Structure formats: structure tokens, C-alpha cells
Chains A and B, each alone.
Chain A
Amino acid sequence: MPSLKDIKTQINSVGSTKKITSAMKMVAASKLRRSQEKAEAARPYSSRLEEMLSSLASSAASGEGIIKLLTGTGNDQNYIVVPVSADRGLCGGFNSSINRETFKLVKSLEGNGKKVQLMPVGKKSRDFFNRVMKDQIIESFVDLNVSSTGYESALNISNKLQELYFEGKFDKCILVFNKFKSAISQEVTQQQLIPLDVSNSEKEEEKDNSSNAIYDYEPDEETILKDLLPKNVSIQIFKVLLESDAGEQGARMAAMDNATRNAGEMIDSLTLKYNRTRQAFITKELIEIISGAESI
């Protein structure tokens, strides 16, 4: 049987863990609010950009150069997969679900005879893929800190991707990230970034065809499209980074909430055990005294 002192120490250590987790929960909650605001503030830009793009997309004939971001290279052989994870742990299944999903995706693409390269974003996915498929990583981005650096961080990734794309290093780029559904739930999502997937925006276009009257284009449609497409890649990445950031905070909040609750339960059960043991000791001592007195 553990001594009283042992149990007491255990209660104390669980108590301090509880303090830490509840503090982390609070921090995550306030960060979550900020991240959500950021994500919301970025929404008007990306939605406007999408609208513009969808009204222009139809005018793009298959072409060379930048238009390739929309039309694709015509091949389907080389893939680049970008898992977006957090830099830090202690946020439940947030990172591991990204890594698992990406791993599955890579394996299934390779099963179909495609060549896959990786460009992890965030320490947790970089470390994971450094262990399992080191030779397929061509670049990694860590310590992005989207909520403070903002758009710049997305630009770096987007520039690198486009550079590789125009060098002909890959034909398709797929992002794997946690979509922010609510504060407590995230959904692992795959999004094809390059070539641009216009199937979604096409649907919208049909919806508001009436408002889609003819615009004058200055200088001309193709020039605007050439400006618009690279920007769209950056903004999509930016959006994903912000969502993932908000998701991370949400996941951490939920995980820490759970941990705090578990610690509370553990303290309760340990306290019960402590009291029982204490009582058992007292009873034992009483019995010893009484039986000693009787024998005299």
C-alpha cells in the first residue's frame, strides 16, 4: 500500500499539471478569438478575388506561361503535396490527423504510379516526414506565425511553389489542411491548388449569371488574368494558413479542456484514496493500542 506521503505528492503534482493545462486552455481560447477575427477579415478579399476569377476563367484559352496555373500542364504525373500542420504540439489529434491523411494520400498516389514530392508546412509535419520519407521533401516552411506576420508568410510559400511549377517540377499541387468548422471541430481537407480547380466557382457563376453583365477590361482580359492567377495562389494559401491557425487554437483549447477535466477527476479519486488510507492507518493504530491494553 502506498504511504500517505506518496499519495499527497501525487495529488500535488496532478494539481500543478491541472493549473498548467487550464492556463494553456485560457491562452488558446483568447488566441482562437484573434485567429478567428483574422480569418474573418481575410474573407472579403478572397471572396472578391474568386468572383473576379470565375468571371474571367471562361475567357482563358489554353495558353502558355502564367495561364498554365489555370489550365494545367496537360500532364498528371508529378504531384506535390503540401501538408499544413502546427508548429507546436499539445493540441490533440490536430497534427497527427494531418500527417496520417497526407501519408495515406501519398501512398495512394504512388500506388497509381505517380511521383510525389512533399513540401511540409509547420514543424510537426516536417519532423514527421523527415522520419518517414526524407528523400521526398523538397522544401519545408516552419515558424510561420501567420497571426503576426500575416500575408508575407503565404507569399513565400506561393512564390516557391510557382517557381517550381514553371520549372516543370510538378503538374499538380494538393494542400492537406485542417478546415476550421467550429471551435471544437476541425475537418481534414484536401484542396487542389494548382491547376486551379474552377469547378466550384463555375457553379457559383451559374447561380448569379444575371448579375454577371459584361465588363470592360483594362488593359485586357488576358493581362488581368495573368496578374490575378498568381495572386489567387497566394491568397488561397493565406486563407488555408489562417484557417489552420484558427483550427490549431481550437484543437488546443479542446484538448486542454479535456486534460483539465481529467486532472480534476484524478485529484478527486486520489483524495478519496488518501482519506481512505488515512482512516485505515488510524483504525490500525487504534486496534494495536486496544489489543495491547487488553493483553496487560
Chain B
Amino acid sequence: MATISFDLVSPENLVFNDEVGTIIVPGKDGDLGILPGHSKVMSSLRPGRVMVYSEDKNLIKSFFVSGGFAEINPEKCIVLAESVVEVNSLEKTSIEKEIQELENKDGKESEEQLSVAKAKLEAINVNYYDKI
């Protein structure tokens, strides 16, 4: 089976770069599953999980991104994310605390932060896409 090269880039560094089998990215209008040979797409992302699978469909890694862009062509998929964390390293209690704090604040900025934090919590709790 073919592979597709996948780059996950944050402003500070190159987080992930390897040949993989499948990638699922959280597109703004819905999740995108990317297989080798995907047509050319440019999409903006919502906060959510970027899942990376090996050729035989085993989950290699899952990251949480707070938004960004994906550029996809048949050989390569590039995700530019503003902040990237591995889902495994997220801590539930600290995020819940953050959400509580943010809920008491108003303003546009904290609203955005709140939606990111909520998406983080969801990323920990859900387990669909773990097996494909």
C-alpha cells in the first residue's frame, strides 16, 4: 500500500514529519480523512484532533490543534497549526479548571479561548477514530 508524507508544523518547530498511511484532520466544515493520492485541497481547521495512522490502519499518534490550515496534495499533507499538543499529554483537571475560569470572564478573546478549551476536553473524552 502507498504512503503519504505528512508534516505537522507549529510556529515554533516541526512537530511531526514522516510517511504515513492515513491522516484525519478537523476541517472547518467537517473532518477530512486523507489517504495517499488525495486530490488537492486547502482547508482551514477548527480546534480538534489530528490523527495519524500507519499503513495498516493502526493509530500512531493523535495531536490536539487549536486551529490552523491544511494543504493536501496527492503526495503530501501539510498541517500548519497554531498550537500543537499530544492528546496524551493533556490533563483533564487543569483543562476543566481553565474552562471554569474562562466561563466567568467575558469578551471576545476569552470566548475563543473557551471554545478551544472545550474542544480540548472533548478531544480527551471521545474515542471515535481510535480504530478505523
A238 at the interface (CB under 8 A from B): yes
- The reply to whether A219 and B44 form a contact with Cβ atoms under 8 Å apart is yes
Q: Interface 1/0s, chain A 36-53, versus B by CB < 8 A? A: 001001101110110010
| Chain A residues with CB below 8 A from B42, complex form | 52, 56, 215-218, 224
**Residue in A45, A52, A215 whose beta carbon sits within 8 Å of that of B10 in the complex:** A45
One of A62-70, A110-118, A124-132, A227-235 at the interface: A227-235
A103 at the interface (CB under 8 A from B): no
Q: Interface 1/0s, chain B 1-41, versus A by CB < 8 A? A: 00000010111111000000000000111001000000111
In the assembled complex, how far is the CB of residue A158 from the closest CB belonging to chain B, in whole angstroms? 11
- The reply to whether A227 and B71 form a contact with Cβ atoms under 8 Å apart is no
| Chain B residues with CB below 8 A from A234, complex form | 11
- The reply to whether B9 and A45 form a contact with Cβ atoms under 8 Å apart is yes
The range of chain B's interface size is 20 to 34
Tally of contact residues, A, Cβ under 8 A: 28
Q: Interface 1/0s, chain B 34-71, versus A by CB < 8 A? A: 00000111111000000000000000000000010101
- The reply to whether A219 and B29 form a contact with Cβ atoms under 8 Å apart is yes
Q: A49 vs B81: C-alpha distance in the bound complex, in angstroms?
A: 11
- The reply to whether B80 and A215 form a contact with Cβ atoms under 8 Å apart is no
**Residue in A217, A219, A228, A235 whose beta carbon sits within 8 Å of that of B11 in the complex:** A235
A61 at the interface (CB under 8 A from B): no
| Chain B residues with CB below 8 A from A154, complex form | 11
| Chain B residues with CB below 8 A from A235, complex form | 11
Q: A154 vs B83: C-alpha distance in the bound complex, in angstroms?
A: 13
| Chain A residues with CB below 8 A from B29, complex form | 218-219
**Residue in A49, A150, A238 whose beta carbon sits within 8 Å of that of B80 in the complex:** A49
- The reply to whether B39 and A42 form a contact with Cβ atoms under 8 Å apart is no
Q: Which A-chain residue is minimally distant from B29 (CB atoms)?
A: A219
Q: A234 vs B10: C-alpha distance in the bound complex, in angstroms?
A: 13
B91 at the interface (CB under 8 A from A): no
A213 at the interface (CB under 8 A from B): yes
- The reply to whether A38 and B28 form a contact with Cβ atoms under 8 Å apart is no
- Additional A-B contacts beyond A44-B7, A227-B67 (12; CB < 8 A): A38-B12, A42-B13, A44-B14, A48-B80, A49-B80, A56-B42, A151-B11, A218-B32, A219-B29, A224-B43, A224-B44, A224-B69
The 7 A-B residue pairs with the shortest CB-CB distance, nearest first, are A218-B43, A41-B13, A151-B11, A216-B41, A215-B40, A215-B42, A45-B9
Residues of chain B at the chain A interface (Cβ within 8 Å): 7, 9-14, 27-29, 32, 39-44, 67, 69, 71, 78, 80, 82-83
